[in-house]
Chains A and B, each alone.
Chain A
Amino acid sequence: MTDSKYFTTTKKGEIFELKAELNSDKKEKKKEAVKKVIASMTVGKDVSALFPDVVNCMQTDNLELKKLVYLYLMNYAKSQPDMAIMAVNTFVKDCEDPNPLIRALAVRTMGCIRVDKITEYLCEPLRKCLKDEDPYVRKTAAVCVAKLHDINAQLVEDQGFLDTLKDLISDSNPMVVANAVAALSEIAESHPSSNLLDLNPQSINKLLTALNECTEWGQIFILDCLANYMPKDDREAQSICERVTPRLSHANSAVVLSAVKVLMKFMEMLSKDLDYYGTLLKKLAPPLVTLLSAEPELQYVALRNINLIVQKRPEILKHEMKVFFVKYNDPIYVKLEKLDIMIRLASQANIAQVLAELKEYATEVDVDFVRKAVRAIGRCAIKVEQSAERCVSTLLDLIQTKVNYVVQEAIVVIKDIFRKYPNKYESVIATLCENLDSLDEPEARAAMIWIVGEYAERIDNADELLESFLEGFHDESTQVQLQLLTAIVKLFLKKPTETQELVQQVLSLATQDSDNPDLRDRGYIYWRLLSTDPVAAKEVVLAEKPLISEETDLIEPTLLDELICYIGTLASVYHKPPNAFVEGGRGVVHKSLPPRTASSESTESPETAPAGAPSGDQPDVIPAQGDLLGDLLNLDLGPPVSGPPLASSSVQMGAVDLLGGGLDSLMGDEPEGIGDTNFGAPPAAVTTAAAPARLGAPISSGLSDLFELTSGVGTLSGSYVAPKAVWLPAMKAKGLEISGTFTRQVGSISMDLQLTNKALQVMTDFAIQFNRNSFGLAPAAPLQVHAPLSPNQTVELSLPLNTVGSVMKMEPLNNLQVAVKNNIDVFYFSTLYPLHVLFVEDGKMDRQMFLATWKDIPNENEAQFQIRDCPLNTETASNKLQSSNIFTVAKRNVEGQDMLYQSLKLTNGIWVLAELRIQPGNPNFTLSLKCRAPEVSQHVYQAYETILKN
């Protein structure tokens, strides 16, 4: 006697038979028939044809039958709207039933029927039910408003249901409050602008009271709602925290995580000096640890959230490393997350333990996990410097196991270790080379080739090794091909005599036989460099590489803060703000952490040394291979070019030029050898490739093309120079007029002066002196006016400056007082120098430094400015700024706005970090500056404005 009998079908046709049974006179038979219909529905069979017959069974006093019919209606009403009308009368009648269960059931079911005509009839009963004397009916009705809103938002607003719903927040029954909050939250999600959940201290108090008494699910709704509230001061924040903390001991993990969210958010407002702050930190750890003993799927969500929490407040879990140790029968998704967090928590104190664990993991069975464990060892080495040596020896041990994928993975991370600690561990190269043959994965091959190229001078048979790779050049992946090309060029530059043939071979393979434009372009660039100026080539190719630092996969601070507001949601699982992935992106409200209150700001300590772990969309430790071409073009080529930097074309144009012109010169009149390096000319096959490229491309010499390209990218043109202004009018200086400006060219500052003699007598014996000033600017050489200045004569000269003079803070900061003497008198004037002449060339901060520094500088040092009417696009703005030594460290697109993260350094070593927000089509930029010496911000802003507007 089980329900499975409902699945047995007869030959005659199920529907036909059911129809007959539904119309039977016997109640029992009817009910059995409806059950059969429901059973078919649950397995996805279409039984909508029975609609009229089922609806006929609706009028009954048998509650079970009624419920079953309702179930059916909810599923099929939409497909049979006309028929569904038949049910309306029964619904309306049921809404008046003396039994609250039936009233609630009717209003609940009606809300689920998404048919307009029924919705119209719903309004009156719903209004009554919202004010029903029975709380069970009220709480059901509250949810029904959300349902109705989903079907017809306008109707809900017109009928004033939203206000009634808001009133329910003050209901006496906690369950009703919870459901009202849930309904309002759902409605608010689709109506971000409407001020539905307008929380004030009174309503917050109501919610907090209801929080203690309602069901676990209600607690989740209320906590999530609380998280959106912005307490007015730290005292209110603390009192909310105190009342939320008991939720951390709830058995339902969703309640716990929602409580963690509220606490993490409001903690932001508490002063770190407060005893309570410390207590709260301590209270947060145990519940998070407990989540990890739950079922694996709960663990997974918890781990993704802990990953965020650890980045925001590493101190919470810093002593809990062991709970993240991996058990061998954890599901793979849990293992990988744990590993990630282990690395984030790794520090000098626990590194020994971590390494021992990682080594253990590297011998496990699961290949993916083993790979990640090996990588993790490398990341530990990069993160905790003291452990580097131990990590390297661990990696060597692992290489000795000869397990293929372990070896490959180890080589990839050793490459990164070499970059972080150059000239320290090269002794292991020999061991690496032994494993050359076993490498079959592109990433490992590329890493090995990079190592061979980078240390070619120390590897005796580097040429043989690279040659062996070259044999199968065309079968390699692009990554390997590019790396091989670069490595061989490096080798050639280091050992030119023996490797000419090799380099020619690779260049011709890359340029002639490859279809890959990246590879071809890079080949041509190398070829041109080598053929025109081997010295420059050496400078470019063997340039010192910037060190890689720490971790790269930290989530950007702004994004991290936003994600903290989304703890416990899908956004926290994906580590993306909801608008990046939630369906339709129905205007999700941008959430941000509350600002710390003024009293506490000064105590922000720079201890939040962030840890990291990789996730696919974060930048790699070393720029992806594809970026290298870009890097190459961006390299600073040293002294400015004397050639005419006329009409620097766009980058694409430059690339075409390079191709066309490059081929041209390679193919030129001297088929046997260009320049001193004597390269064989590429064979005829190239002509075909060259032909289309040459169309329309101006043919000019390769050299100037190449430089034109670089200047197009914009590293060489030097800082912006303001037009000269009159500093000392003739009237005030007995006929001497001085106008001038400041320039910065390749690291040196100079004052360009124009002296005009408007007096009637000859002027001689010029001298200049500066008063002490904020940045120690001083003339680096005496003012040299060679000939006496006769009346009406003008002389232009450039006075080199340095910044080693005495320092005194001036008001304004960039004020410079100057004394000029001539044979007539001594004159004084003061001028304001634009701050950007003080921006030094090595002002590009590395990404991680940037992230860490940005976090480190207290928020009160942040200044925001508007740059108005600046019709530039992001690209040009960035290039323009770069030529004045404001460097773009990273770029991100947030909701259609471009965010440029920039850094600059002043001559006295002060770093200024900037976030420039550019909205396409909006000529007003927003500039946020952060600097340890906030008084420079105003002037940096002015510099920005000057540079961008000229």
Chain B
Amino acid sequence: MIHSLFLINSSGDIFLEKHWKSVVSRSVCDYFFEAQERATEAENVPPVIPTPHHYLLSVYRHKIFFVAVIQTEVPPLFVIEFLHRVVDTFQDYFGVCSEPVIKDNVVVVYEVLEEMLDNGFPLATESNILKELIKPPTILRTVVNTITGSTNVGDQLPTGQLSVVPWRRTGVKYTNNEAYFDVVEEIDAIIDKSGSTVTAEIQGVIDACVKLTGMPDLTLSFMNPRLLDDVSFHPCVRFKRWESERILSFIPPDGNFRLLSYHVSAQNLVAIPVYVKHSISFRDSSSLGRFEITVGPKQSMGKTVEGVTVTSQMPKGVLNMSLTPSQGTHTFDPVTKMLSWDVGKINPQKLPSLKGTMSLQVGASKPDENPTINLQFKIQQLAISGLKVNRLDMYGEKYKPFKGIKYMTKAGKFQVRT
């Protein structure tokens, strides 16, 4: 099982270590540093690194490497999922997960890590339970603790630990009972030169924020549940009900959680809400190239496309760009060759465009690679797959909760090849 955990910052300092079995010397991280050096970018460090006696599994989040050390055959996904959970927990506890914050809260971090694993076996990873065991620091509590000398360690066995609904604590009380659901869909797509779709898929999630008193039992039904044929549920969802009735039935965790994530890959269901017209030409002989892109809406179901940004990694041979946008602002970093254009809203009557010239290295040959255009955008009040929630019902409690549902479509990895 998981032996040890090292947290390493981007400059290569180990700033925290935790061992769940015997102590593993931090020199084991040297193998990690070697791999890090070989991979030019932090994102490219391989997630599994073998060393003579151990295996290092790492994830890179918030500019921190979380490196787990294992010694025997352990499912790597198990370790990686656990590391993700560590990151989420830190974020949950401290608001942000960063080196200074972890250092500031090192004792809490250490206590939390100790609760999360026992002898390398996961013990309590649900944030509900952890928060009952180790209270997250708040300014108020710190002050109170200093004055009264009380502790931030719970001395009662968390109720959720052993119940059949480990994700929910008992005795939850709210004056305003509310349940909000956000349906967020991200479109991942590759569009080729000619504008036709190479691949397109939707990664959707339903995130919930449920603040309800007691033990509410919720059901959520959809207008068109058939869309969801590839889904992953939060453990609270009763799978049998879904299989037979296509209804989500669950006792929700308290607070924020991801109820479900789904995947729509059938091409005909994935509408592409924007298009990009581009003409980028590097002329062989002269040292000037032409650059022009236009962004326009397409299949956006009458909703406004907003928050549009365009980024593109230009070839090395591009020295500078002199461009004029019809709207928004743009920057070009001549060192990293990164062009970014913050477009804002798309007005279908007056399509935003960015055009101008590129100055190329004199005498150098035409760049080999074509830049890929990366697109970000948002469409409020629309789930592009057409998914619609029908109704939300609550059983088991008497009060009337306030319910809300929001839809949003975003670009995920949306790439246009040129």
A-chain residues with CB within 8 Å of residue B81 when the two chains form the complex: 216, 252-254, 298
With A3-B105, A251-B232 known as contacts, the answer to whether A108 contacts B142 (CB < 8 A) is: no
- Whether B151 and A570, one on each chain, are in contact in the complex, defined by CB atoms closer than 8 angstroms, is no
A179 to B26, CA, bound (A): 29
Of residues 569 through 587 on chain A, the ones whose CB sits less than 8 Å from some CB of chain B are: 569-571, 573-574, 578, 581-583
B239 adjacent to A570 (CB under 8 Å): no
Asked whether, in the complex, the Cβ of B58 is within 8 Å of the Cβ of A582, the reply is no
Does B10 sit within 8 A of A, measured CB to CB? no
A70 CB, nearest partner CB in chain B, Å: 8
Which of A360-368, A466-474, A672-680, A829-837 touches B?
A360-368
How many angstroms between the C-alpha atoms of A65 and B415 in the bound complex?
Answer: 54
Stretch binding the partner chain, chosen from B195-203, B284-292, B339-347: B195-203
Residue of A nearest to B22 (CB): A114
- A823 on the B face (CB < 8 A): no
Q: Which residues of B contact A331 (CB under 8 A)?
A: 43-44
A51 at the interface (CB under 8 A from B): no
Q: How far is the CA of A290 from the CA of B230 in the complex (A)?
A: 7
Q: Does B265 contact A (CB under 8 A)?
A: yes
Instruction: Give the contacts of B76-103 with A (CB-CB under 8 A).
Output: 76-78, 80-82, 84, 100, 103
Q: Identify the closest chain A residue to B258 (Cβ).
A: A251
> What are the residues of chain B within 8 A of A144 when measuring CB–CB?
119
Given known contacts A114-B22, A249-B231, A295-B84, is B104 in contact with A2 (CB within 8 Å)? yes
Residue in B50, B121, B265 with the greatest tally of chain A CB atoms within 10 Å: B121
Residue from B21, B104, B230, B265 within 8 A of A3 (CB atoms) = B104
User: Which residues of A have CB within 8 Å of B18?
Assistant: 42
A217: B residues at CB distance < 8 A: 78, 82, 121-122, 125
Q: Find out whether the CB atom of B55 lies under 8 angstroms from the CB atom of A570.
A: yes
- A151-182 CB contact bits vs B (8 Å, 1 = yes)? 00000000000000000000001110001001
Give a binary string over A337-361; 1 marks a CB under 8 Å from any B CB, 0 the rest: 0000000000000000000110010
The A-contacting residues of B in range 251-275, CB under 8 angstroms, are 258, 260-261, 263, 265
CB-contacts of B1-53 with A (<8 A): 1, 14-23, 26, 39, 43-44, 46-48, 50, 53
Q: From residue A147, how far is it (CB to closest CB) to chain B in Å?
A: 5
Chain A: minimal CB distance from B254 (Å) = 17
Contact between chains at A75 and B44 (CB < 8 Å): no
CB distance A44 to B14 under 8 Å? yes
Task: Scan B237-248; emit 1 where CB is below 8 A from any A CB, else 0.
Answer: 001100100000
- Interface check B372, CB cutoff 8 A: yes
Distance in angstroms between the alpha carbons of A363 and B374 in the assembled complex: 17
Interface size class of B (residues with CB under 8 A): 35 or more
Q: Select B188's contact among A293, A574, A582, beta carbons within 8 Å.
A: A293
Task: Give the segment of A122-130, A135-143, A630-638, A770-778 that binds chain B.
Answer: A135-143
Bound state CA distance, A168 and B7, in angstroms? 36
Quick one: CB contact mask for B122-137 with A, threshold 8 Å, 1 for yes?
Answer: 1101100000000000
The answer to whether A894 has its CB under 8 Å from any CB of chain B is no
Taking a contact as CB atoms under 8 Å apart, the answer to whether B104 and A220 are in contact is: no
Question: Contact at A249–B47, with CB atoms within 8 Å?
Answer: no
CB of A112 within 8 Å of the partner chain: yes
Known contacts: A75-B23, A570-B76. The answer to whether A143 contacts B142 by CB under 8 A is no
CB closest residue in chain B, given A150: B21
| Nearest CB of B to A598, in Å | 32
Q: A112-B119, A300-B47 are in contact. Are A38 and B110 (CB under 8 A)?
A: yes
| Complex CA–CA separation, A220 to B78 (angstroms) | 8
Complex Cα gap A466–B118 (Å):
67
B233 at the interface (CB under 8 A from A): yes
Complex contact A297–B26 (CB within 8 A): no
Interface assignment of A4: CB less than 8 Å from any CB of chain B: yes
How far apart sit A807 and B243, CA to CA, in the bound complex (Å)? Answer: 60
Whether A403 contacts B107 in the complex (CB less than 8 A), given A108-B118, A301-B80, comes out as: no
Write out the residue numbers on chain A whose beta carbons fall within 8 Å of the beta carbon of B108: 3
CA–CA, A381 and B406, complex, Å: 50
Interface string of A790-827 (1 = CB under 8 A from B): 00000000000000000000000000000000000000
Using a CB–CB cutoff of 8 Å, the interface residues on chain A facing chain B are 1-4, 6-7, 27-28, 31, 35, 38-39, 42-44, 62-65, 67-68, 71, 74-75, 78, 99-101, 108, 111-112, 114, 134-136, 139-140, 143-144, 146-147, 150, 173-175, 179, 182-183, 186, 189, 213, 215-217, 220, 224, 246, 249-254, 256-258, 286-287, 289-290, 293, 295-298, 300-302, 322-323, 325, 327-329, 331-333, 356-357, 360, 363-365, 401, 403, 406, 568-571, 573-574, 578, 581-583, 588
List residues of chain B with CB under 8 Å of any chain A CB.
Answer: 1, 14-23, 26, 39, 43-44, 46-48, 50, 53-55, 57-59, 71-78, 80-82, 84, 100, 103-111, 114, 118-119, 121-123, 125-126, 142-143, 146, 149, 151-157, 161-162, 164, 166, 188, 190, 192, 198-199, 201, 203, 229-235, 239-240, 243, 258, 260-261, 263, 265, 313, 368-370, 372, 374, 413, 415, 417
Closest 8 CB pairs of A and B: A2-B104, A297-B47, A286-B230, A64-B151, A254-B77, A64-B153, A217-B122, A254-B78
Please name 10 further chain A to chain B contacts, defined as beta carbons within 8 Å, in addition to the given A3-B107, A7-B103, sorted by A numbering.
Answer: A43-B16, A63-B154, A67-B114, A101-B156, A108-B118, A183-B121, A246-B239, A289-B230, A363-B369, A583-B71
Interchain residue pairs with CB less than 8 A apart (30): A2-B104, A2-B105, A38-B110, A42-B16, A42-B18, A42-B110, A43-B14, A43-B17, A44-B14, A63-B154, A75-B23, A139-B162, A140-B118, A175-B166, A220-B75, A220-B78, A246-B243, A254-B80, A286-B229, A287-B230, A287-B232, A293-B188, A295-B80, A298-B81, A302-B77, A328-B372, A333-B47, A357-B198, A569-B74, A588-B73
